Amino acid sequence: MLSTTARTRLGRSKERAAADRDDLYEVLDTGLICHLGVVTDGYPMVVPTGYGRVGDTLYLHGSTGARSLRAAGDREVCVTVTHLDGIVLARSVFHHSVNYRSAIVYGRARVVTDEEERIAGLRALTERLAPGQWDYARRPDRKELAATAVLALSLEEASVKIRCGAPSDEEADYALPVWAGVLPLVTAWGEPVPDPALPDGIGIPVHIRDRK
Amino acid sequence: MLSTTARTRLGRSKERAAADRDDLYEVLDTGLICHLGVVTDGYPMVVPTGYGRVGDTLYLHGSTGARSLRAAGDREVCVTVTHLDGIVLARSVFHHSVNYRSAIVYGRARVVTDEEERIAGLRALTERLAPGQWDYARRPDRKELAATAVLALSLEEASVKIRCGAPSDEEADYALPVWAGVLPLVTAWGEPVPDPALPDGIGIPVHIRDRK
């Protein structure tokens, strides 16, 4: 089980929270999508979506008509980013676990209205998902900007949880003839697949071909 | 943006919902963790956690003391499983997207009390994360079972969203000298890492070594 909220933990240990800040940035800046939690009509709703970070602000975006965005604007939200690094295979079923890094951010999502900040947020979103594309692809025009809602979420109330390394088994179980260890999960970029509609002669840009 | 809830879509099109059922199973049965959304004190909370499926029931578990579990038991929850398959690089920033498969399940989480169902749920959870381990590792004893809460969630109100293939650009943008296509994201198992405490002579079982 990965969970239990970290909301309280930050309250209990401010030193830990401060020490976690670099970890928080690392988890956010290596993730691709988050899971956005909102409350609609009293019910929880969790949707996957992109995000970007500028300093201590997280940006989310979406169609101005999207229900999750309407539910998130000027409302309390929870944004969770999770990296799954491996399966922890213990000697007992009970101590099976996963190695992971996750960040949870709580706060009120602010609807961004300042055009400069909106564009900075969209740029951060684009560059998180597809670094180099803000300067390479066609930028949003006035009509596209008008159709896009941008939300900002402060990283003030955020926390990080990390589990790594070998399983923790019951003392008596170490004598069992059972293999234990970690099965790592590895994520990598595959070969870029060109759009079939692409005309001849347009090569793959280096920032896409050599993406880390 | 991946989102907008599918909650309404199922209401609008029951045929589509039926057609999605195999997709729903496929998304759930190839995922490793879900993001569990609950409402606590009126606030949304989203935590990553394991899950398992038996027929049309999803099982979640956790420490009986975990705050997220307490908030989920006999309460409305939302469980989302997302596979990120690639980054969709369009000719315009606006049409950038991701290829993904996601399942969203809504419902009231039932606290499982029947011991047989509790064990079936834990088995499904274990086998989702680590196939073969239920029969290989030491099973939970009475004390461990007592410390574990098991929740059941019906798949009755569930939906699937899938995006795949090339970008969809504005007609005029196809003339731009901009590369477009998909950068696939590939996930694979790495080499198993033995627990340093493992005695000599315990080989890696085939179900771990050859995991698909």
| A1 is a domain residue | no
| B1 is a domain residue | no
Please answer yes or no on whether B80 and A179 come within 8 Å at the CB atom.
no
- The answer to whether A168 touches A90, Cβ cutoff 8 Å, is yes
CA–CA separation, B29 and B58 (whole Å): 11
Q: Which residue has the higher pLDDT, A64 or A138?
A: A138
Report residue B65's pLDDT band, with 50, 70 and 90 as the boundaries.
Answer: confident
Across the interface, of B91, B100, B203, the residue whose CB is closest to A48 is: B100
Residue B12 pLDDT greater than 50, yes or no: no
Closest-CA residue to B99 (of B168, B10, B15) = B168
Please give the helix or strand (H or E) that residue A124 lies within, else none.
helix A115-129
| A55 is a domain residue | yes
Report residue B19's pLDDT band, with 50, 70 and 90 as the boundaries.
Answer: low
Q: Please enumerate in sequence order all residues whose Cβ is within 8 A of that of A50, keeping only pairs 6 or more positions apart, or say none.
A: A32, A33, A34, A60, A61, A125, A128, A129, B1, B2, B98
Please answer yes or no on whether B35 and A33 come within 8 Å at the CB atom.
no
Please answer yes or no on whether A198 and B186 come within 8 Å at the CB atom.
no
Report residue A5's pLDDT band, with 50, 70 and 90 as the boundaries.
Answer: very low
Percent of chain A with pLDDT over 90: 84
CA–CA separation, B81 and B78 (whole Å): 10
Pick the residue of B33, B84, B89, B106 with the most A CBs within 10 A to test the interface with A by mutation. B89
Give the residue numbers spanning the domain of B40.
Answer: 7-209
CA–CA separation, A35 and B69 (whole Å): 18
A76-91 pLDDT per residue, tens: 999 999 999 999 999 9
Residue A87 DSSP SS3: strand
Q: Does residue A89 sit at the B interface (CB-CB below 8 Å)?
A: yes
Q: What is the CATH number of the domain that holds A147?
A: 2.30.110.10
Which residues are registered as beta bridge partners of B159?
Answer: B104
- The answer to whether A47 touches B2, Cβ cutoff 8 Å, is yes
| A116 is a domain residue | yes
| B58 is a domain residue | yes
Report residue A27's pLDDT band, with 50, 70 and 90 as the boundaries.
Answer: very high
Closest-CA residue to A183 (of B138, B153, B204, B143) = B204
| B94 is a domain residue | yes
ipTM summary value: 0.92
A167-210 pLDDT per residue, tens: 999 999 999 999 999 999 999 999 999 999 999 999 999 999 99
What per-residue string of b and e applies to B146-157 under the rule 16 or more CB within 10 Å gives b? eebbbbbbbbeb
CA–CA separation, B131 and A61 (whole Å): 38
Residue A209 DSSP SS3: helix
- The answer to whether B154 touches B56, Cβ cutoff 8 Å, is yes
- Please, which residues 26-85 of chain A have a Cβ atom closer than 8 Å to chain B? 32-33, 35-40, 42-50, 61-63, 66-69, 76-80, 82, 84
| A185 is a domain residue | yes
The total number of structural domains in chain A stands at 1
| B153 is a domain residue | yes
Residue B64 pLDDT greater than 90, yes or no: no
- Torsion, Cα A193 A199 A201 A206, to 10 degrees, reads -40
Which whole number is the average pLDDT over B92-97? 97
